[in-house]
Structure 1
Amino acid sequence: MAKRTTKRKTAKSARQQVPQVSEAISRAEKATTLAQKKLDKAAERLDKAKERAAQAVTKAKETKRATTIAAAERAREALTKAKEAKREAAGELRQAKANLKAEEKAERDRIKSEEQEKRLAEKKATAKAHAIAVFEKKWEQQWERKQRTKKTVKRTQRKVSTPSKEKKITAL
């Protein structure tokens, strides 16, 4: 059987390609949806409690029996509890939304600071490369200057030494 030459895409590599949202944001989003569901349920319970209270009150007015009046009172208490539960759920939802907003802001700030650090590092790297290039250029120029001076010194030494040798030769 032939060996596979191309790399197979795994679920893990596919997940890595998706832009990742921080865990804090995903937790805050979950909390928000949970609070929204809780608020919806509380609103539903409140509506049912209103209906029951209205029915109990009308029945109590009609019959004027102690049991129906007590049932109406219980229905009113259940209604106030449902209202309080809805108020609390709304507060939790507000808090969850505020937390989500804060987490998103923190994530944006973190990304912004990371990008700023990256730009600063790139700036430093280019500055360093430029400084190295300038140093190398100066060093090469100095080295070339030294080589030229060595050549001229050798030439002048040869020119100076040749006439003296000739004088010595002619003097003999």
Structure 2
Amino acid sequence: MKKMAGDINLKYLQGYSEQLQNQVRQLIIEERIGRYLKQRYGQQHNIQSDKALYKYINELKQNHLRNAPQIDKVLFDNRLDLTHRALGLHTAVSRVQGGKLKAKKEIRIASLFKSAAPEFLEMIVVHELAHLKEAEHNKAFYKLCEYMLPGYHQLEFDLRIYLTWRELES
């Protein structure tokens, strides 16, 4: 049964213009959204372990943010999911060791990205790395994301389409 435009919830695209939302609705109605995503992002990356993810993230950090704090822990986290609206998470865990306060930086990436396109994994990683320099989602934050990954905004939009498609398929 085909969906009607009014029946399609685009919760991941709420911040975008009505015109863009209508274009996505049309892809869904015409059942072309999966083909669109496969055509643009048909490959799956090969980073499957926390160790490989740690290496990947540190290489990106080294290329773009050499002076940023060291990342102590990186992992795919199966507790991060769309219900919590978190695809990635950066934290600074502070502990007292001896008489000193130690802060450890962690990056967690939602496990759904184990089977995603390499472009989507890179976009999420860049997003979390940018938080090492910019805490808020402000103009400087997005400028840094675009610097580290040209085309970041398009990838973020397409990732939101991908999340919508995943939800429709389930």
Relative to the length of structure 1, the TM-score reads 0.21
**Higher share of residues assigned helix:** 1
Tell me which structure has the larger Cα radius of gyration.
1
Bigger relative CO (Cα 8 Å, ≥ 6 apart): 1
